[in-house]
Structure 1
């Protein structure tokens, strides 16, 4: 982890949510930080794009689109994207934090991997790429730096879609190729065209490097390497590493064919071939050990195995080869004759030997014990291959939901790991994980609160909160929508908010002239009923209403509006003097503009520009002027306050 603390983002709160703890790494396009999501209290990796990219609008637009696509890609071997956003000049991705090392770090430490181990890294990589290809996504930059090996043994692929987003920037318009030249397919070099088969080519180059410890092409300049990708055929791993399995030569050759049509159609097709190759490899695969040179024929010591350490190797004696053979056989030494064993002893020895042979035969006929390996958390395909190679008969059970074990991984085995079984009873049941159980929010729109609560309970969900909102289309007391929305997948037992229709809310008619109040009520679907009474207010204006403003009411209901006396010659505007248009400013008056039915904000601006003060009251809430006081055409002093109902 990069321990440089001079980075200006370290210690800052990004976008009001991510507290940047430290810098993990810095690359050519972005810097990765370790951060704490203070909203969900979890550790995440935050990738912040470099300023040159963040300042390009085309990149930001494409980056947001690609982030949404990748976020929808749920696979145990893909680094999950949680969030995307901008904070000032910072364009960032919030991703799953995977503690561990990159595949590049492993290659740097070890040089190369044995054949089986190389395939066990490539299989989850191809599974991740295959899932992306099925979803219509192409990685475009497959390389060891973008493969993470977690501390608990998981393999994760990162940076899906980032290369595509960069293709939209000004950097590509200057002739810069997007990708890493050592892993770039011929068509990517020549035309920039990429599809799933381009990722297959890059994966083949990466497999070559895992097996041999180096890339197939090296050159003084990137363009010389690019030229070789276009014009040369990738060498077989066995050409650099004699003894490398032929199966892997074939796999690399198919994946790195210069003609895209000759490659596997996508990563899933290559995955099938890789799994089959892994199954057929011997347990100890890789380059053959050095073979010792046999000694020339005729040497007395050309033995297949050395003599026991506690014995003396007797050299040939030339004196025993001289003289007649009869002399050596006819006169055995007297001492030897005295050591002759009786017949009963030889018989007993024969019985013991036969018993030993019988016991050995019985032991060899017994079933070989097998120990169930630890497979929980591994990809089901890889786990199946491993168990079969150990001699187990593998069966797959029904998927079960689990909050921790990703979909497609082994949730548990029957028998459990460490259990000893025999070859006669080698059945091993793998229970795959279906991932976290998620329930779709049922459709409760258009039904009552009680019915909605019942329907949510049947689905295993509960009601979180109930809010009311005015609606002209949904009848009062019915569900308008839910939060989360209908169809969204949520955890079992989650709480769902209900937004209920309050029907129509009565507008505030107080102060409206009669004719404007009548029009506003009818346009809102109400039936106005007017009653006059003597009052000192402006003639023929609403002074009271029933129901009161903001009361819930059904469409078509009657509203009782009480008017001030319509013929009241005694009433005058405050600025009038005995009915004369006399004002305190020497008789200067302004004419009130007509802003009825205009956009409320435009009407406000027009009146303010004319020198009037503006007060806005809630009517039907449709954003247009329903009524105005003083009415259009009236002469009023400059700076008079106009009341508008929207």
Structure 2
């Protein structure tokens, strides 16, 4: 079935369970993209039309149930000879698995589970649906703790059909109610009896009735008392035991009258005021289940009475006297009355006290009735025996088959696998392969019986060692020694603040996880050291701004990390960073030094260059842009000005012995001229002052410079001597042009 798609939408993925009537598969509803459980009818039932009809009708009826504690039925369908029901898929475990693993459960947990089952039964009973197969296998516990009751409708269809067709009772005999075991009509109280057994098993870890055969267990339900829960587990509160005792009464009249009544009792049984309440008692103690159909034993008939002898002993007279007296006082129309009349008539005729001639009539009736009863009883015995005689079949060898193939092989001979199938790791057997069967090949077993299958869950797993702290090579060596294939070992380089490069800092799966080395994979996280990032640019920042940037980048300012030295940069600004240049890779916590300008060096000269500039045409506006180069840097923008007449602009320069100044002028976006200012001229006061030509506006030298120099020197007269111009140049930075004149 695995890989099959039913109804064009239910893709069978894996088998998750099954019983005597159907198999359950986890499936994907490709239309709605959700997982569902698909229950598929076993092949031996697919040709029984009456069963199929009831199966579908009851499954559709169960689909009408809508309750948080009931597994929802989504769809019912048929594809060729496959009959299936689509139900809600519950991710978790069934209660039988939980009981096997953890029983006895705590009282509060068991009561909580029982309350949710009871709530589901109350909803079903109100919708006129009787489950009839309440047992831990049909109770699912989701990973969220929600209890879900499953197989509503299917249990009813199975029971109804098999009783009608074979006269036998089908179900889980350990959870039968007495009326169910007798084959009489079952109702809501039968479900409550089964729930009582489930609660008993959760709290004690054992079943109340066990036997060598299903018939012996069924008889115990009818006739024998069970060991009280508190005798098995003294930790059970008396109030909880009272719930079990009442729900498991053999007489349905003495049980809870409804699921709602039992739910209310469960809801309060763990309240402090109830936990030590008196033990519940019943009128007829532990009497067996009695009803009007019970078979009764008749007294044995003496041989001399059977032959009609007249002279029976006085003790026989006493023994049969009640019957005899009753016959004499019977109604006139009865057989006894007519016989008595004839006896009296005979006595009067003969005038004698002799016993009547026809006194054999009554013993004959007794004997005939007894023989008829015995004949019926013998017929019933032979009929029942004929039902119990089942053909035997020889078991095949299922070992090394896939689970699916083994189940199909069993279905061919009318045998089914016990639920659940045992799944465990087995060396030498791949996952899904049968490695053992409870009854050996060639064993003769009854048709319709079951055997236990053991299916491999893969190779045995081994716990992973802790590889953290080892070098990558050592970790790989250890995994190879365990049996891992090198292709199943992968690594990923990660930053780590503490581990050295090449050391394993993480692993998936984690240490201790169990894994099959032949099929499993391991992923190792290997340190590549601390995470690096680009060093920020500190040059040009003020000292305080640079320190703030270092801290924000999670770096450290080295001890004595602020070094001041002369520079042509502005005083207090960072002129260099060490040992990381801007954009160099650096890790968190690295130490950094900064060099801060303490001001210009002593040999530097602050010089103001006065530059006369004229517009392109006198009276019309021109845009003048000036750029200069000095010891502070190349091509520094001085700025732009709009003029319509000749103006003188002061350009502040810083000159050094190895760095002269240069001033460039642009007018209306076009280059005009460049003016060099040497360090030596500035120091000696011999920097020539350009003069603007009066005609074309182009700067010029010569007499015009002397005139300009004169004009810039404290408004002195034109034509003053060179010495005077030199002094003016020293004082104002512009008069030096006169010396050149």
So what's the TM-score if we normalise by structure 1? 0.41
Radius of gyration: which is bigger?
Answer: 2
Name which structure has the greater RCO, CA cutoff 8 Å, separation 6+.
Answer: 1
So what's the TM-score if we normalise by structure 2? 0.36
